[in-house]
Every structure is written in structure tokens, then in C-alpha cells.
Structure 1
Amino acid sequence: MISMLDYYNIRDQFTEEEKLVASTTKSFTDNYVLPIIEKHYSEGKFPIDLIKIMGELGLLAVILPSKYGGSELNYVSYGIAMQELERGDSGIRSFASVQNSLVIYPIFNYGTEDQKTKYLPKLATGEFVGCFGLTEPDFGSNPGGMLATATKTEKGYILNGSKMWITNGSIADIAVVWAKLEGKVNGFIVEKDTPGFTTVEMKGKHSLRASVTSELIFNDCLIPLDNRLEVEGLRGPLSCLNQARYGISWGAIGSAISCYETALNYAKTRIQFGKPIASFQIIQEKLVWMLNEITKAQLVSYQLGRLKEKKLDRPQQTSLAKRNNVDIALQCARLSREILGANGILNEYPIMRHMANLESVKTYEGTHDIHTLILGADITGIEAFS
């Protein structure tokens, strides 16, 4: 049974392959993530032992062609996998998102054949972990203002600068790093033991605690000439972000479903005034609101996936999906906590963990407000920012 609220029978449209992805990822989440995630979240540790299993199941390279070790599946399959992973925890889905969309995607699309054969098979299995260095301490929503630089020499490129809020940073074997070369944004592959490259894991997080978040520091870091990606300008990193945002739109649904199902089950068994609180109108209104919004979110992401498979999608459509779905997921978490009352804050239930995680998900890969302005410019033809 696919673990998903499906009020409009969307699963009936799934291919047999897509159903298999759903059942496989559900089993992984049920058997490997849910039993351990609260402990890891509490301790602020990423469950690193899960990487190999995800690789064996094909969850780290869902769309990548089999020639390079990938599963060679479609976009809806990728979305389904992200939904099930985030039903477990946003940190687990974030790990898979980075590997699939922010590391494998740019190397496959902008890398040389040598780069593809060297890195992609190991990334697909999880032997290599990757990270994506774009955001800087002073430049997040405005990546074009980045201060990181690359200088070309006879021996290679010398990188200087820092990147902040980098998922997987301290455990990564390679980093896809964006820096300005002669004033233009370029992408580079940096291996972990390269002299001049250091990482610092960020501590004290109240969100995404079961995920590794790091700062990347480059101090006269010399990398080979062969490690530059064949793309120039913001087109490169923004295309990667568009891929990640699509997966996030599905992932947020997983968090929302987890919260909704927790609240529904609780409401049907919690007795107050001699009857289940699910019989009260205000509780039913909250449950129906969640059902309504989750169903709309599912339809948005499913249709976006089909558009992507036909190469008919636009980045603005992905912005709408990411903006809407993360927002309603966060609201579902809050409503679910209200239904559970004081019990909702206990780690016996996943609600507060999802709520805290979703605060980060709402911010990364384009904030809610940035996606609002992207959509505003699209429908009016007027840029609110330049």
C-alpha cells in the first residue's frame, strides 16, 4: 500500500514503475527512517548509515541514466520518492535532494565525459557524497552578488571565498562550487582533501537537526583545470535549484501527510466530554482544511512532474509548487499541533519535528517571498527587483 493520502485517486494514474518506487521508498522510510529519526534529531546527528541503503535502492540518482549508474526513472518517480523520504524527515529528503538535483544534475548536464565517468557512478551508489556551494554569508537570495572568486593559472584554478548553509558539507567527498571567474559565475568540482579547502559544521540548529549543515571555506584552493563545469553565468546554478525545488514541492507533501494522519488518528481516539474530539465541528474543520490543501498540492506537483517529463514546464511553475506546498505543509503542522494540544509538543509524535524542519524548507532553495516576486513578475510582466 502506498503511504499517501490520495483523496483524488492520483495513484491510479501512476505507472507500474512509479507504484514500485512508491512502495520501495515507503518500505525504506518505515523500516529504516521512522524507527531511528527521533533519536538522531534529538542528538543533532545525520544517520549516515542510511546512505548506502539509499544508494542500493536507487534513491540517490533517480533520474540519472543507467549508463552512469542511475535508476533512469521519470520525474514523477523522483517526486514520489522525495515525498516518501520527507514523510520520514526533511533532513533525509534534503540529503537525497542535494545528491540528485544539486550534485549529480550539474555534473551530468554541464560536466565533461571524464567528469561524468569519474564521479557519477560513485555518487549514485552513495560511495561519494556531494554538496552544492552557492549561498554565501552575505548573498543568499541574490546569488549574482557572490564574492567567491576563481582565478585561472597554468596549474589550475585558485578558489577563494566561503559558502554558508551547505547541506552535506562536512561529510561530502566532492563539492560543486560556484564562483566568479573573470566576473562571470562558473561551476567547479572540488574534492574534499584539496589543500586550501576546509569545512566547519554548523551547530545549534533548532531545525533540520538530522541533517549536516556546514560552511565551506576556500583559501587559495588550487583545483585542476579539468574540474571546471562547462557552463557560464547564473543559468547553471539556477537550473540546479529548479530541479531541487521540484523535489521539495513533493517532499513537503510528505511532511504534511505525516502531520495530517497523526492528527486524524489522534482525533478519532482522544476522548473529551465523553466523545472523540473528531466529532467536534472545529476539529473537523481543521482536518478538512488539511485534506483540501494536501490534495491541491498533490495535483500541482503531479501535473508539474508530467510537464517536466514532456519538457513543457517553466521555472515559474516550479516556484508556485514550492511556494504553495511548503507553505501549506507548515500550516498543516501547526493545525495538527493544535488538534493534539499539549501532547503535540512531545517527541512521541512527529509534528514539532516536521514543523521545525519546514521553517528551514520554506527558506532554502528560494524563500517564500522570492518565489512570490518571481510569480508576480511572470503574471504582470513587471520585475519587482533586478
Structure 2
Amino acid sequence: MAQQMNLETETVQFLKQLVALPSLSGREERVAQAVEQKMRALDFDEIWRDDYGNVIGKRTSPYSGASILFDAHMDVVPEGDPRDWTHAPYGGEELQDRVWGRGSTDTKASLASIVVGLGSIPRQSFSGTLYVVASVGEEIIEGASLAKVVDALQPQGVVIGEPTDCRLGIGHKGRARMRFSVFGKAAHSSTPEQGDNAVFKMPTLIERISRVPVPQDPWIGQAVMEPVQVVSSPYPSASTVPFACAVTYDRRLILGETEQSVLKIYRHALSDLRDWGLELEEVSYTTYTGQVFKTPDFHPAWRMEPDSAWVSLGKHGIARGGIRPEVYTTPYCTNGSYSAGVAGIPTLVFGPGSIHVAHSLDEYIAVDELLKGLHGFIGLANVLGTFG
């Protein structure tokens, strides 16, 4: 009992330390240093950082088994104006049985839990090899940095640490950013008749897009097509008739949709229109080590069969941690889009906290929820090595 209390106390204290370190995407180095230092104080066999700044810790059991990778990202979204917060966004304050601050729920609670929990459990309590990964850049490009680790280590299973209210996520919709453009002709705004204002063409395009039906999946629901940004070119413009106008859509994907299949739907449906174009937006991200990711912003959907051996082991694992096993479809996109959606590796999403608190003002994690997640992760580590 004393050992368990020490483990729980250490997890809470480490979370407070992590939250107190700002770690916007591309600026995760201080958190990486803290994770590496903590791993070195625990019972990891090997600890290293890859070229992209991901921190990896490895532990091997005396018993043969599968290699299982546990991931939680280090980066957080911007906090906005700190004056709007009741609790300092990077205070790491523990008050009212909660730890407050940006990233406390998304997803430093999971990060603290997998580092301390999986770095402390007896080697005789698990089989195979455990990899604990603190990844970079997830808030910018889901899966891109974890892909480098997965491809290098080739694990047999992956657990993504994200806020699931300690439920077991067995799949989620994918995500793509699609840019539709309409084109006109530039002119001085004092003589607009000499040009062709592209802005006037945009309402027709948006209306036509809204009439294109989106597909449905019986397991993860209906695809979503939502406009999130409209920009004319040139921008900003003081006195030029726009020669182009672009609208960006956030497209939530269902199982089986690919880059080509999604683009084909809209190119076919809008084929009678003139002077327009469609492409996937490209996203670029520079890590704190100077490495650059540049890739289409497309992340496929995925799902594990609820009655599969992998999911059954996951349910057994969190039950061993004292959690009633409940599976569900995660409503947001994660690094699992690569591990499961691209690489086809059995994957679960699990972690303490609620997605409804993530990215919000006065983000927090309840201490009892954090510790519930800690024991859930330990339970998963105890059993998943027997997979296969």
C-alpha cells in the first residue's frame, strides 16, 4: 500500500512539473528534458531521443512476449490571454483536488502516468517489451512524428494516451483539410468592371458543396463536412479586386475513405462548375530539433473489432486497474490515425480526463481521475504483452 501511495504521489508531482513547462508545438524541448530525466530516475533499460525530438524509453521483461508502444504527446495548444484564466495556465497548481493548467488533461496526465507507472512496475508483472514514447507535434499533424517511432520500432500493439474518461477507445473518424478555390480576374477596385471578383463566386460554390451528401458508417457515424475558413487573394488587399477566393473545409472521415476517394466525390459532384479547383491542404511543422514535416493534412479513420483478442485484452487490462471496461468510438482524431489507420497495427486509445475540458480556459484534471488512469495504464501494460 505504501508503494502504491508513493507511485501515485510521484505521478501527481510529475504532472505538476510537466504542466509548469510551456510546450507549444515545436517548443517541447523542456518537457522532453523533464521526461528524459524522470525516465533515468526510474527502471528503464534504454532512453533516447530520435532526430525529431521524440523521447523513447524501453523496458524488457524476463518473459517473452509482444512489444507494446505507449504514446502520449508533449505539445499543447496555445493558452490565449493568460488574464482570462482563473488559474495560471502554466502554474501546475494543485487545488481543490485538481491539477490546473494547459495540457493537464490533453495530454500530460497520460504522459505522466505512462512514464511513472510503466517505469516503476516490477519486470515480472509484464511480458515482452514496453516502449514509452513522449511524442512531438501531435496538435499540428496527428501521427507524423509517431510514425517515425513506429516505423523504427515495429511494435505489435500501440496504446495512445488521450483523454477518454478512462474508457477504451477502439477507433475514431479520420480528418482532412480540403481547400476549394474559385478564380476570377484582378483589377483596381475603383474600376471593378475591368476584373472578375472571385468573392462573388464563392457563395455558389459553398451552396453546392453543402448539397453533396456525406457517407455514413454504422460504427463511427456520419462523415462531417464543415467550412472553417474563407480567404480571398490577395490578402490583405486595400484596392484590388480579388482574383481568387478559397474556402477550407474540415472533413471528418469514415472507414475506408482515402485521399483519392474523398477528392473524387467533390470533383464529380461539382464537375459542371467553371473556374474552380480542389486540393488537400499541406501542413508544415518544424520540430524543436529543426526537422521539418511537410505532408497533406489527411489522417484516415480506423476501428478495432470489439470482440477481437486485442480489445478483449485491453478490457481485461483496465479491469485489472479497477476500471469498469467500457469501449467506445473516440470522437476526435489522434496519433492512432497512423498506427492503426496507416500502419495497420492493433491500437487502443485510453487516458484520464475528458475531451470537453481539453483546449479550454482553466483546463484541469481531477487527481482521482489521474490516478484512475495511472492504474488503467499499468493494467494494460500488465496484459498486452501476451497479445499474439
TM-score category, normalised to shorter length: under 0.3
| Higher-strand-fraction structure | 2
Q: Which has the larger radius of gyration?
A: 2
What is the TM-score of this pair, normalised by structure 1? 0.26
Considering Cα pairs closer than 8 Å and 6+ residues apart, tell me whether 1 or 2 has the greater RCO: 2
What is the TM-score of this pair, normalised by structure 2? 0.25
